[in-house]
Structure 1
Amino acid sequence: MITYSAVILLVIVVLALLFTRWAESYVYRQKQEQLLAAGQALQPVAGLYLTGQLDQAGLESHFNTAARTAGARVYLLSERRGRALLPGWSPAAGPNAAGAKTGAQAKPSGGPGSNAVFGQAIASIWQGQTVLSRKITLPALQSEVVLVGLPVSSAGTVKGVLLLASPLSEMQQLLRQIYLRIWLAALLALLPALALVYLVARRLVAPLKELQRAALRLAAGESPPDLPPGESSELADLAAAFNYMKNRLHRLEKQRNEMIAAISHELRTPLTSLRGFLQAMSDGVIDREQYPRYLQLAHSETMRLIHLVQDLMDLARLQSGNFTLQPAPCPVSQLLEETVAAMQLAAQEKQVDLQLTPLPREIAITCDRERLKQVLLNLLHNAIKFTPPGGWVAVQAGWQPPPGSGGAPEFSACSGSALAHPASANNTGPKVAPPGPGLVISVCDQGPGIPAEDLPFVFEKFYRAEKTARLAGGSGLGLAIAKNLVELHGGCIAIDSQPGRGTAVTVWLPAAETAQPCEPE
């Protein structure tokens, strides 16, 4: 508020100063114009006087009237008459006064031309020029005046000098009154302006203070309520950004707690089993003939722990930027067949029909084969896990040609095709549009689907949808790792799902060095 007040005060002071300068200039200009008009009216009268056509009384009458009207002193310097007329004061010496040479150029001594600047002005007038001076010292008055000097000519010859002078003291008195009114108006304008600034500042600062209090509560570990949108668009944007940050931090904290609970559960379960096996074998509860069976179970639990720790390490390396791929040429058909073959046993145990649509032609890309296989195994594991017995899981792949190339896509996206069997002619639904040329792989299932409100978060680490069994169980790391690995290849991964109608995950890998987001059509 202090800053706003200072700005308003500065603006008003600057405006007041400008108005005072303008008023001063206007008053002086008006006075000069008034004196010039009066002098031009007196020029013919002075000419008559100098040529002997007007007597002294007539001249003084005209000069006195002009002096009263213009508020000025009127002087006439004449070679022939040798005197200057000063209404209301003693006559001043003219150019041919005592001590001057007869017929010499007018150079008054002891009269109005006694100082150098004034003498130069008089000399210019004797040469036929009109002089307007805003500030000059008039020796006859011993004060500064606004001066207008005009030549009085007859038959083309300058016969005299007509001077009209207005003392600055009288004008400054008028200017002081004008200045007083200007600064009084500035003061009267400043008071309501400061009051308005105070009210506006309070309206602006109040939401910021509320934001500050909410930020301090958030920093203290509390969960403040959402801030209401401000009246201005900027404050509304700020409140929305803070609310988003607060809710995001709350979600991350919730995910962190869930992560701790999930990791604790994932670690506790195999460790509890291992402890039970070892304790039972140590106590002799288990017959030696059963040792191989329980050792196999212990091995399985140990591998489960290793996989969990490996997933955590992989995700940490991926997100820290220290993960390095080992790209090499890779036949896509072979990679897909190996991946599907590795998951066939799990699909048969779940009574799920796992299908691989053959590629129309062989496609080779440059990728890290093991990491891309890790992505596909993760997607197939989730698809089989959440597809009910008797359902199907379909894997499709193909080449997406460059836009405008005229080539037809070799890939028939099954995004949304969980609405019907992939072999069905009624395979319709929302599609995920590949952003450019490259390899497209899609894994579709007939699982329960994912609610729309959970879709934006399924690729976040440790995220678990609460309203669906889609992400129930597990540590919640698989899709986060898959997303990071695909993006590390310069590709993208997208998911399309509807509750009760299945899910499709589409992976796009570029043909060149590009990285664009997968956008729904």
Structure 2
Amino acid sequence: VDAVMINYHWKKLEADKKYTNPIETLGKMLQNQPYSWRILSPDASPEELGSYTRLDVAMVDVFAGEPAPEPSDAAIGGGPGLPKGTEYREYRIGERGNPEYHYYQPIRVQQSCLICHEYRGPVSNKAADSPPDRPKYAEGDLMAVVKVVMPDATTQQALRWNWAILLTTAIITVFLAMIAAYLIVRYVIVKPLEHLREVSDEVRRGNVNARADIHTADEFEELGVAFNRMLRGLVESQEELRQANESLDDKVDELARANMHLYEMNRLKSDFLATMSHELRTPLNSIIGFSDVLSSIESLDDKQNRYVQNIRSSGRMLLEMINDILDLAKMEAGKMELRIGRFNVTAAVSAQCDMLRPLAERKRIDVFAEVAPGLEAVEQDQSKVQQILSNLLSNAVKFTPEGGRITVTAHPVDNGATMVLEVADTGVGIAPEEQQAIFEKFRQSRVFQAGDDAMTREISGTGLGLSIVRELCRLLGGDVSLESHLGRGSRFTVRLPTRLSATSIQQTISLAESA
């Protein structure tokens, strides 16, 4: 619109040759533009109004402020009006396939316009030609309306070109942003992380002297410092672990040598005990035999007969001790043999009770035996079972005072898979702190309850009886337990399998050897 107004005003200066070149240049610029223009005057003559379209007249009336309705679709050639503001209007008008944009902009009177256009009239008239009776223009009055007509195709092409430029610019911007983001991520984030990974791979391959070298003056540099600190701690920990392993290896070697030495000493001890026990039994049997011969001589007086009985009882006691030591040595050396056979537990219990009954009667101790049904044919080592009962009954008689009571019971459990042998007495009892110690070798309980006072007892013996019982129970695949109270007696419970197979024999022998 500005170019149109300049061209319009400069055409009035065509007579002045100094304005010829600017006027021609401006005219060429307007001719090269793909639109046409026209100036509409609100004071046009009837002849000029005849060349105006209905839309032109309506736009002049609108801008002039006269109360005129907006043009209908029919008045503007079938296209809807698209008002953009109060100082200009745009409309898309035309038939299908060849639409146009009509642009209307009012030209208001300014202070500079009053120099040439003082009176109202067509804009083509000069102020000097205006009759003096016409009213004058005031600043802000409507002087003219510039109409510009542009083909819709050109406008759409320009819009498409603008959109293409915007889209291309956006794509290039996004692409450059992606490249910048990639470079930032690659060199600021990924590269330090790859360096840390390479250092960790070096450490994993055994190069504990590898260190991270990151100088980014940010969190990654702090991470590298922490990573190096961790590696130094790892090296120190490995060195401490190496020293601890070396010390542990030395101690393990020392312990192994000590175990070998102990094993050898234990073997020598067992061999010595077995040999000495065997060597001692030979002369001891002679002593017992000669004492039996002497006791059969009727000419001995009472004093001599008492001496012979002392020799005989002492010899048998010593033989019993030697047999216990020999049995224990055999079990420790793993040379104890098992003879599995079928026997009746009732007969075995009765036999052991009958053997101990004379000794019990001397102390007026009652011995009772009770065997439940179901133990008539067990498969075990009868001699070992009888030895267990013999040791338990001997201890019961030994530690039960006169007038006491001993009860032996046997019954099956676990649907006949296990037999339970119990030996209970009304003896002195065993203190709780000694109930585990009495199963150790060469240990005896030394405290019993007499009335309200605890007293120390001195009973002769080696302290091997219960130790042998425990070893025999383990050898036969069972165990032994104790329940005792001071002054009220003790109860020893033995649990053994009723059928000892070859597999269980091997397992129990292995357990006995490891124990």
User: Shorter-normalised TM-score: what interval?
Assistant: 0.3 to 0.5
Q: Which has the higher contact order (CA 8 A, sep 6+)?
A: 1
TM-score w.r.t. the length of structure 1 is 0.42
Question: Based on CA coordinates, which of the two structures has the bigger radius of gyration?
Answer: 2
TM-score w.r.t. the length of structure 2 is 0.42
